[in-house]
Chain A
Amino acid sequence: MNINSSKSSNEVKLSELKEGQTGRIVRVGGQGVLRRRLLEMGLIKGTQVYVEKYAPLKDPIELIVKGYHVSLRVEEAAKVILEKIRQELTDGSEAN
Chain B
Amino acid sequence: MGPKQIRIALSGNPNSGKTTIFNSITGTRQKVGNWPGVTVEKKEGSIQKFGYHLKIIDLPGTYSLTPFSIEEIVARNFVLEEHPDVVIVIIDASNLERSLYLATQIRELDCKVIFALNMQDVARSRGIKIDADKLSQLLDVPVVFTIGNKNEGVDILLKKAIELAESDIELPRTRRVKYSKDIEKCIGNFKTYIENTIGDNLSYNPRWIAIKLLEDDKILKDRVIEKTGANGPGILEQAAIHRSHITNIFDEEPEIIFTDERYGFIAGIVKEVMTTSTKQRIDISRNIDLVLTNRFLGFPIFIFFIWAMFQLTFTLGAYPMEWIETGISMLSGFMGARLPDTMLKDLLVDGIIAGVGSVIVFLPNILILFFCIALFEDTGYMSRAAFLMDKIMHLIGLHGNSFIPMLMGFGCNVPAIMASRTLESEKDRILTILITPFMSCSARLPIYIVLAGTFFPKSAGTVIFSLYLAGIVLSIITGRLFRSTLLRGMDAPFVMELPPYRIPMLKSLMIHMWDRSKMFLKKMGGIIFIGSIIIWTLSSFPKNIEYSTDYTIKMKTAKQSLEEQTPLVREDELRKLTQEYEKETKDLKRKMRTETAEKSYIGHIGKFMAPFFAPIGIDWRGSVALLTGFVAKEIVVSTMGVLYAVEDDESDALKHALRESGMTPLSALGMMFFVLLYVPCLATIATIRKETRSWKWALFSVAYSTLLAWGVAFAIYQGGMLLGFGLA
Q: Does B298 contact A (CB under 8 A)?
A: yes
Nearest A residue to B495 via CB reads: A37
Selected contact of B391 from candidates A35, A38, A40, A57, CB within 8 Å: A57
Q: Does B68 contact A (CB under 8 A)?
A: yes
Q: Are A71 and B391 in contact (CB under 8 A)?
A: no
Nearest A residue to B295 via CB reads: A56
Number of contacting residues on A, CB 8 A?
A: 32
User: Could you say which residues of chain A place their CB within 8 Å of the CB of B400?
Assistant: 60
Q: Are B94 and A55 in contact (CB under 8 A)?
A: no
Given A42-B98, A71-B496: A56 touches B388 (CB 8 Å cut-off)? yes
Q: Are B98 and A69 in contact (CB under 8 A)?
A: no
Q: Tell me, in angstroms, the Cα distance from A58 to B498 when the chains sit together.
A: 17
Q: Are A55 and B95 in contact (CB under 8 A)?
A: no
User: Could you say which residues of chain A place their CB within 8 Å of the CB of B496?
Assistant: 70-71
Given A1-B260, A34-B493, A66-B97: A40 touches B293 (CB 8 Å cut-off)? no
Q: Are B101 and A44 in contact (CB under 8 A)?
A: no
Interface-central residue, B68, B98, B289, B400, by most chain A CB under 10 Å: B98
User: Could you say which residues of chain B place their CB within 8 Å of the CB of A1?
Assistant: 260, 264
Selected contact of A40 from candidates B64, B95, B392, B498, CB within 8 Å: B64
Q: Does B390 contact A (CB under 8 A)?
A: yes
Selected contact of B390 from candidates A33, A42, A60, CB within 8 Å: A60
Q: Give the shortest distance, in Å, between A15 (CB) and chain B (any CB).
A: 13
Question: Secondary structure of the B side of the interface?
Answer: helix
Selected contact of B66 from candidates A40, A56, A66, A73, CB within 8 Å: A40
Q: Does B256 contact A (CB under 8 A)?
A: yes
Given A33-B68, A44-B260, A66-B97: A76 touches B493 (CB 8 Å cut-off)? yes
User: Could you say which residues of chain A place their CB within 8 Å of the CB of B286?
Assistant: 52
- B539-550 vs A: 1/0 string, CB under 8 Å? 000000000000
Q: Give the shortest distance, in Å, between A37 (CB) and chain B (any CB).
A: 5
Given A60-B387, A71-B387: A40 touches B494 (CB 8 Å cut-off)? no
Q: Give the shortest distance, in Å, between A72 (CB) and chain B (any CB).
A: 6
Number of A-B contacts (CB under 8 A): 112
Q: Give the shortest distance, in Å, between A27 (CB) and chain B (any CB).
A: 9
Q: Does B255 contact A (CB under 8 A)?
A: yes
Q: Are A53 and B391 in contact (CB under 8 A)?
A: no
Q: Are A62 and B387 in contact (CB under 8 A)?
A: yes
Q: Tell me, in angstroms, the Cα distance from A55 to B496 when the chains sit together.
A: 13
Selected contact of B259 from candidates A39, A53, A56, CB within 8 Å: A39
- B255-285 vs A: 1/0 string, CB under 8 Å? 1100110011000000000000000000000
Q: Give the shortest distance, in Å, between B125 (CB) and chain A (any CB).
A: 13
Q: Give the shortest distance, in Å, between B287 (CB) and chain A (any CB).
A: 12
23 cross-chain CB contacts under 8 A:
A1-B264, A35-B256, A36-B66, A39-B259, A40-B63, A40-B64, A42-B97, A42-B98, A44-B259, A52-B286, A53-B293, A55-B293, A55-B387, A56-B298, A56-B388, A59-B391, A59-B394, A60-B494, A62-B289, A66-B97, A68-B95, A69-B499, A71-B387
Q: Does B296 contact A (CB under 8 A)?
A: yes
Q: Does B299 contact A (CB under 8 A)?
A: yes
Interface-central residue, A38, A40, A56, A60, by most chain B CB under 10 Å: A40
User: Could you say which residues of chain A place their CB within 8 Å of the CB of B494?
Assistant: 60, 71-73, 76
Q: Are B97 and A33 in contact (CB under 8 A)?
A: no
Q: Are A68 and B391 in contact (CB under 8 A)?
A: no
